[in-house]
């Protein structure tokens, strides 16, 4: 584990089956089936939309 992340807060998210399907679609299409990257992309989109 990267030592830089040891002092960071962590959160737990619960997704519906529909949300997981959307995450998996994005992961397959854009991130070589990397679900974590798809979640980061969706979180980034949500944060940017919230700031508008």
Residue pLDDT, tens place only, 1-52: 456 666 778 888 898 999 899 889 999 999 998 999 998 898 899 889 998 8
Query: Number of folded domains in the chain?
Result: 1
What does the alpha-carbon distance between residue 39 and residue 27 come to, in Å, rounded to a whole number?
8
> Is residue 20 domain-resident?
yes
> Is residue 40 domain-resident?
yes
pLDDT score at 17: 95
> Is residue 26 domain-resident?
yes
What's the domain range around 38?
A: 16-51
Global pTM exceeds 0.75 = no
> In whole angstroms, how far apart are CA 15 and each of 1, 21, 24, 35?
25, 10, 12, 12
**DSSP at 37:** H
């Amino acid at each position: 584990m990267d030592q830089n992340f040891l002092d960071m807060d962590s959160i737990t998210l619960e997704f519906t089956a529909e949300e997981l399907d959307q995450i998996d679609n994005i992961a397959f299409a854009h991130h070589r089936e990397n679900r974590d990257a798809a979640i980061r992309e969706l979180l980034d989109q949500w944060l940017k939309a919230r700031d508008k």
